[in-house]
Amino acid sequence: MNKHSVPRCDDLPDRTPTGALVENVDLVIVRFGDAVSAFYGRCLHRGVMLSDGLNGHNLICGVHNWGYRVDTGISAYVNDEKLPKFNAWIEGGDVLVDTDEIKQWKQENPQPYDRKGYLGQYADLMVPTKNPARLHHHALGRVIIRLLGPSEKLTNRQLN
Ligand code: FES
């Protein structure tokens, strides 16, 4: 076991999804009362970041409203669908996960997102693009990224 601190408990508002990147795997961390869950951070439908979603009794994807229970990760509508869940616990105010467990999971589930590439972590890898207008749009985006760099650099340039 290799403990790794993700956001402190005090920084996790109750039932509010928070993203964390551990071993290049997107996680979504949810505190509910005195308990905490750490799940794979991408929706099982189209890979949207669940840290951008909403929460209540369920963790709700912000795009098409798929919902997952905050304690188990099981879909509220299709019980066969279940977000991968990682061990997470609170110790001295820190929320901890086990990087060895996450590394092992990543070996079996390689992550395809090129964070510095076109669309980066928001790339939709599940839809082949055949529409000529979308192909043109994506090609233009790739050229802009190549010329100007990824969006973090753009943001830094705009701030400086
Ligand atoms: S991508 Fe999450 S519900 Fe569609």
Question: Tens of pLDDT along 93-116?
Answer: 899 999 999 999 999 999 888 888
Q: What is the pLDDT of residue 155?
A: 42
- Provide the pLDDT confidence category of residue 120 given band limits of 50, 70 and 90: confident
Q: What is the pLDDT of residue 157?
A: 41
Taking CA atoms only, the protein residue closest to ligand 1 atom 1 is 46
Domain boundaries, the chain: 3-108, 120-159
Evaluate if residue 152 carries a pLDDT over 80: no
- What residue type is assigned to position 82 of the chain? K
Tell me which fold the domain 3-108 belongs to.
Answer: Rieske Iron-sulfur Protein (2.102.10)
- Dihedral over Cα of 38, 43, 49, 54: its sign: negative
In this structure, are residues 125 and 34 in contact, taking their beta carbons and an 8 Å threshold? no
Q: Who contacts 56 (Cβ-Cβ below 8 Å, separation ≥6)? A: 15
- What residue type is assigned to position 19 of the chain? G
Determine which of 59-68, 104-113, 120-129, 136-145 has the lowest per-residue pLDDT on average: 136-145
Residue 134 DSSP one-character state:
H
- What residue type is assigned to position 70 of the chain? V
* Region 136-152 average pLDDT: 64
Q: List the structure tokens of 26.
A: 């997107």
- In the structure, which protein residues have their CB atom closer than 6 angstroms to any atom of ligand 1? 43, 45-46, 48, 61, 63-64, 66
Evaluate if residue 151 carries a pLDDT over 90: no
Taking CA atoms only, the protein residue closest to ligand 1 atom 3 is 64
Q: What is the pLDDT of residue 30?
A: 94
Q: What pTM does this model have?
A: 0.78
